Amino acid sequence: MGVEMEENRGAFDGHRAAELMVELREAFGSGRTRSYEWRVAQLKALFRMIDEKEAEIMAALYSDLAKPELEAFLHEVSLTRSACQLALKELKRWMKPEKVSSSITTFPSSSEIVSEPLGVVLIISAWNYPFILSLDPVIGAIAAGNAVVLKPSEVAPATASFFARTLPAYLDSSAIRVVEGAVSETTALLEQKWDKILYTGNSKVGRIVMAAAAKHLTPVVLELGGKSPVVVDSNVNLEVAVKRIIVGKWGCNNGQACISPDYIITTKSFAPKLVEALKSTLEKFYGEDPLESKDLSRIVNSNHFARLTRLLDEDKVYGKIIYGGQRDEKKLKIAPTLLFDVPHDSLIMKEEIFGPILPIITVDKVEESFDIINSRTKPLAAYLFTKDKILEEKFVNNVSSGGMLINDVALHLANPNLPFGGVGESGIGAYHGKFSFDAFSHKKAVLHRSFGGEAPARYPPYTLKKQRILKALLGGDIISLVLALLGWPRS
């Protein structure tokens, strides 16, 4: 049954969720989704959908976020297309059982790791990159041979309704479904027993998802956020560093990105130069009146607008604005805003900002930044700009974060050979590329034996001789083994 038909039947409640689960269990139970052919057919259809519906996708992203066309294409459409293409190219290899060596204890035998689909999986996605954050995990779930329910974010309603309208026309609706809705629909879905849940969003709801999953011992991938720091050393190529910071912050959905730079740490002596370069480059990129710039997404809705202005308007923060600060509530626009030396106990230094505001804090020595970062919860990304190889090595070895990037911002997520995910408060598990396939597969350990190769020492009655043989065998002690087999004492 198609999604639209489901919607015509009224509210999506617990009863409907249970019905949906029965249908999907049946589809998965039929074995259909396990075949290579089914997976490839779905992935090809998805690929075709992306090509054929590109204009509609871009329009939905504009409607939800006023996302600039270039960003929408590069960060959502093109990356999703590549993820689909990679899965199609590599699927045979990913699905192939991995031969591994056997051990003496199982001799003679052969061993392999077989990737099997988990079953029926749930993907709950977020609003800020509503297209890719929905389809990228769906690609992994299909590639791994699962039945899937996608619950897109209600905060990006145009993209959510695009999925509900369009996916059933391309994909096998008996095994891949879209459920639109907000908290009550997601709660109804979460009551069901899933074989895996991948959730993208904030850590408060992440806890709700994990608690619901725990009731059924369902494994989870939680793609959360956090305050991702950017450390800027004084020896950098300032022009390049500043351009990359700006495009990684404001050029990624106007700061509404999970790996967006949340705050900068630099030295007191270098700060004035960095601030000047940021100001002049921001003006070059977004003009004198950035509220009118077409190259900046808007704030997603009035709740988030209010949240961001509350952070900005806190007494101890407002006076720290050194650039920007303009806002237009009607158009939901906030200009790129720089704050200097905000107090560590301000709200803006406690919460993830997730918007166009960038505080800069200063230290005497750049190495002090490590302690500041490590004293907080672990971020999703950590960035360092430096030419100092020793500092770079120290950063990699001493700072804990989901991912890390040296001398650039955000680009690490575009490499499908790197896992994308958080650590600690920024998330559990990872996906992208083969990691997506693995996230939705069970790695089944399979040992093959024949009826030959009997070892009588395994079987009762357990005699001293058998014990000696086994101990010698497991200890790799050939002399003791020969002596034990001959029944001679070791000495």
CB of 154 to ligand NAD, least distance (A): 5
First vs last C-alpha separation in the chain: 77
76 and 132 Cβ atoms separated by less than 8 Å = yes
- Nearest approach in angstroms of CB 127 to ligand NAD is 4
Work out how close the CB of 235 gets to ligand NAD at its nearest, in angstroms, rounded to a whole number.
Answer: 31
List the interface residues with ligand NAD, window 426-455 (CB under 6 A).
427
Token couple for 205 = 């709801």
CB of 130 to ligand NAD, least distance (A): 8
The contacts of residue 359 (CB under 8 Å, 6+ apart) are 263, 264, 320, 338, 339, 340, 342, 348, 349, 353
Which of the ranges 94-102, 114-122, 123-131, 477-485 carries the binding residues for ligand NAD, by CB under 6 A? 123-131
**CB < 8 Å & 24+ apart, contacts of 453-457:** 453/107, 453/108, 453/109
Q: CA 310, 312, 313 angle in degrees (round to 5)?
A: 65
- In whole angstroms, the minimum distance from the beta carbon of 432 to ligand NAD comes to 10
Smallest separation (angstroms) from ligand NAD to the CB of 202? 3
Per-residue exposure over 459-491, b if at least 16 CB sit within 10 Å of its own CB, e if not: eeeeeeebebbbebbeeeeeebbebbeeeeeee
Q: How far is the CB of 354 from ligand NAD (least distance, A)?
A: 5
Q: Which is nearer to ligand NAD, 356 or 422 (CB)?
A: 422
Rule CB under 6 A: is residue 247 a binding residue for ligand NAD? no
Residue 19 vs residues 9, 47, 441, 482: alpha-carbon distances, Å: 12, 29, 25, 64
In whole angstroms, what is the distance from residue 250 CA to residue 324 CA? 13
Closest CA to 121 of 18, 5, 21: 21
Residue 377 contacts ligand NAD per CB under 6 A: no
* Residue 78 or 480 with smaller CB distance to ligand NAD: 78
**Mutual orientation of helices 79-95 and 36-52 as an angle, nearest 10°?**
170
Under rule CB under 6 A, residue 234 binds ligand NAD: no
In this complex, which beta carbon is closest to ligand NAD, that of residue 243 or of residue 412?
A: 412
Catalytic residue among 84, 252, 258, 425: 258
Query: Does the annotation mark 351 as catalytic?
Result: no
Q: Which of 352, 381, 405, 433 binds ligand NAD (CB under 6 A)?
A: 352
- The single residue listed with the structure tokens 């589809």 is 27
33 and 175 Cβ atoms separated by less than 8 Å: yes
25-54 residues near ligand NAD, rule: CB under 6 A = none
Q: Which of 126, 242, 332, 410 binds ligand NAD (CB under 6 A)?
A: 126
Q: Which is nearer to ligand NAD, 195 or 223 (CB)?
A: 223
Q: Is 128 in the site for ligand NAD (CB under 6 A)?
A: yes
Closer to ligand NAD by Cβ: residue 208 or 321: 208
- Of the pair 354, 370, the CB lying nearest ligand NAD is at 354
Query: Which of 421, 409, 412 has its CA nearest to residue 264?
Result: 409
Say whether residue 133 binds ligand NAD (CB under 6 A): yes
* CA 69 to chain CA centroid, nearest Å: 23
For the question of residue 223 being annotated catalytic, the response is yes
* Residue 108 CB-half CA count within 13 A: 5
Q: Which is nearer to ligand NAD, 50 or 413 (CB)?
A: 413
Is the distance from CB of 134 to CB of 126 less than 8 angstroms?
no
Per the CB < 8 A criterion, the answer to whether 151 and 179 are in contact is yes
Least separation in angstroms between residue 366's CB and ligand NAD is 26
Q: Which residues inside 248-307 make contact with ligand NAD, applying CB under 6 A?
A: 258
Residues in binding contact with ligand NAD, number by CB under 6 A = 28
Task: Give the single-character DSSP code of 67.
Answer: -
Comparison of 165 and 307: residue with beta carbon closer to ligand NAD = 307
Point out the residue whose Cβ comes nearest to ligand NAD.
225
Enumerate residues 163-222 that contact ligand NAD by CB under 6 A: 182-183, 186-187, 200-202, 205, 208
Catalytic residue (choose from 223, 252, 352, 425): 223
CA–CA dist 309, 464 (Å, integer): 78
Nearer to ligand NAD, 88 or 208 (CB): 208
The least CB distance from residue 399 to ligand NAD, in Å, is 18
Residue 461: partners with Cβ closer than 8 Å, 6 or more residues away: none
Q: In terms of residues, how long is the chain?
A: 491
Give the footprint of ligand NAD on residues 144-163 (CB under 6 A).
151, 153-155
What CA–CA distance (Å, rounded) separates 142 from 122?
Answer: 12
**Catalytic positions, written as ranges:** 223, 258
Give me the residues that bind ligand NAD (CB under 6 A), please. Answer: 124-128, 133, 151, 153-155, 182-183, 186-187, 200-202, 205, 208, 223-225, 258, 352, 354, 380, 422, 427
